[in-house]
Chain A
Amino acid sequence: MNQINLQRISLRHTYLFALAILVAAIAINYYHQPNMFEIRVLNGNLRVFLPLILLAAGQTVVIIGGGIDLSVGAMVSMVNAILVTLITSDSTTTEVILAILAGCGAGMLAGALNGFCVAYLRLQPIVTTYATSFIYAGLALYILPRPGGSVPSDLARLYRDTPLGVPFTAYVIVVLVLIWLLLRSTRYGQYLLATGSNADAAYTTGVPVNRVRLSTYVIGGLMAALAGLAITMSVGTGNPRIGDAMTLDSIVAVVLGGTRLAGGQGGVVGTVIGVLILGTIRNIISFANVPTWSQTLVDALIILVALAGPGLVRLMRGQPVFVGAIWQRLVRKESA
Chain B
Amino acid sequence: MKVSLSAQHIVKHYGGVVALADGNLTVQSGEVVALLGANGSGKSTLSKIITGVVSPNDGQIYLDDVPVSFASPQAAKRAGITAVYQELSLVPDMTVAENIWLGNEPLVGGIRVNRRKLIQQTEDLLQHFAGTFQPTLEPDVMVAGLPPDERQIVEILKALSKNPRLMILDEATASLGSQQVARLFELIEQWKARDMAIVFVSHRMDEIFRIADRATVLRSGYHVGDRQIAETNERELVSLMVESQANPHSIRVQATQADAPIRLQVEQLKTKTLRGVDLRVRDGELLGIGGLQGQGQTDLLLALFGAISYHGHVTLSGEPVKLNSPRDAMKRDVAYVPGDRGSEGLLLIRSILENLHLPSWKRYGLPLDMRAAYAAGERSADNLRLVRSSLDAPVNSLSGGNAQKVVIGKWLLRDPRLLLLNDPTKGIDVSTKGEFYELLARLCAQGTAILFYSSDDEELLGLCERVLVLHDGQISAELQGDTLDRTHLVAASMGFAQEGDIESD
Contact = CB atoms under 8 A, between A and B. Distances in A.
Verify that A and B bind, or say they do not: yes
Interface of A: 4, 8, 11, 182, 185-187, 189-191, 193-194, 196-198, 200-208, 264-265, 323-324, 327-328, 331-332, 335-336
- Label chain B's interface by main secondary structure: loop
A185 B74 contact: no
A336 B94 contact: no
Given A185-B113, A205-B103, A327 B307 contact: yes
A187 B307 contact: no
B228 interface: no
Interface string B59-78: 00000000000001110010
Interface string B109-123: 001110000000000
Kindly list the 5 A-B residue pairs having the minimum CB-CB distance in the complex, ordered from nearest: A197-B93, A206-B74, A204-B89, A264-B93, A331-B307
B92 A198 contact: yes
B308 A328 contact: yes
B85 A204 contact: yes
B89 A187 contact: no
A84 to B, nearest CB: 37
Contacts of A201: 88-91
B112 A202 contact: no
A331 B302 contact: yes
Contact of B94 (A197, A200, A203, A331): A197
Nearest to B306: A327
A249 B378 CA distance: 55
A196 B92 CA distance: 10
Interface residues of B, number: 38
A327 B53 contact: no
8 contacts: A182-B112, A185-B113, A190-B113, A204-B89, A206-B77, A264-B92, A327-B308, A336-B144
A250 B106 CA distance: 34
A111 to B, nearest CB: 23
Contacts of B225: none
B326 interface: yes
Contact of A332 (B73, B93, B94, B308): B308
A193 B91 contact: yes
Contacts of A202: 91, 102
Contact of B326 (A264, A327, A335): A327
Given A187-B107, A204-B88, 13 more contacts: A182-B112, A185-B113, A191-B103, A193-B91, A197-B92, A200-B88, A204-B89, A205-B73, A207-B102, A264-B91, A264-B92, A331-B302, A331-B307
Nearest to A182: B112
A335 B144 contact: yes
B146 A336 contact: yes
Contacts of A204: 53, 73, 85, 88-89
B358 to A, nearest CB: 15
Contacts of B90: 198, 201
A190 B94 contact: yes
Contacts of A185: 112-113
B157 to A, nearest CB: 13
A207 B113 CA distance: 16
Contacts of A187: 103, 105, 107, 113
B105 A190 contact: yes
B89 A205 contact: yes
Q: Tell me if A's interface is mostly helix, strand, loop or mixed.
A: helix
A182 B113 CA distance: 10
Interface in B314-370: 324-326
A201 B93 CA distance: 12
B91 A198 contact: yes
B445 interface: no
B472 interface: no
Contacts of B195: none
- Which interface residue of A182, A186, A193, A201 has the most chain B CB atoms within 10 A? A201
A194 B105 CA distance: 13
A220 B460 CA distance: 57
B131 interface: no
Interface in B112-146: 112-113, 136, 140, 142, 144-146
A194 B91 contact: yes
Contacts of B89: 201, 204-205
Nearest to B328: A324
A191 B102 CA distance: 8
Contacts of A189: 113
Contacts of A331: 302, 307-308
Contacts of A336: 144-148
A182 B108 CA distance: 12
B324 A324 contact: yes
Contacts of B307: 327-328, 331
B96 to A, nearest CB: 13
Contacts of B105: 187, 190
B309 interface: yes
A11 B145 CA distance: 12
A264 B147 CA distance: 20
A247 B324 CA distance: 41
B469 to A, nearest CB: 24
A336 B85 CA distance: 18
Contacts of B325: 323-324, 327
A147 to B, nearest CB: 44
Contacts of A194: 91, 94, 102
B283 interface: no
Among B103, B302, B306, the most chain A Cβ lie within 10 Å of the Cβ of: B103
A195 to B, nearest CB: 9
Contacts of A264: 91-93
A205 B89 CA distance: 6
Contacts of A332: 308
A206 B92 contact: no
Query: Which of B90, B136, B306 is the most central at the interface, judged by chain A CB atoms within 10 Å of its CB?
Result: B90
A201 to B, nearest CB: 5
Contacts of A205: 73, 89, 91, 102-103, 158
Nearest to B72: A206
B478 interface: no
Contacts of A324: 309, 324-325
Contacts of B85: 204
Residue among B89, B91, B98 having the largest count of chain A Cβ atoms under 10 Å: B91
Contacts of A328: 307-309
Interface string B160-176: 00000000000000000
Contacts of A323: 325
A207 B144 contact: no
Contacts of B146: 336
Interface centre among B72, B93, B113 (most CB of A within 10 A): B93
Contacts of B326: 327
Nearest to A64: B93
Contacts of B102: 190-191, 194, 202, 205-207
Nearest to B162: A206
A186 B113 contact: yes
A205 B136 CA distance: 25
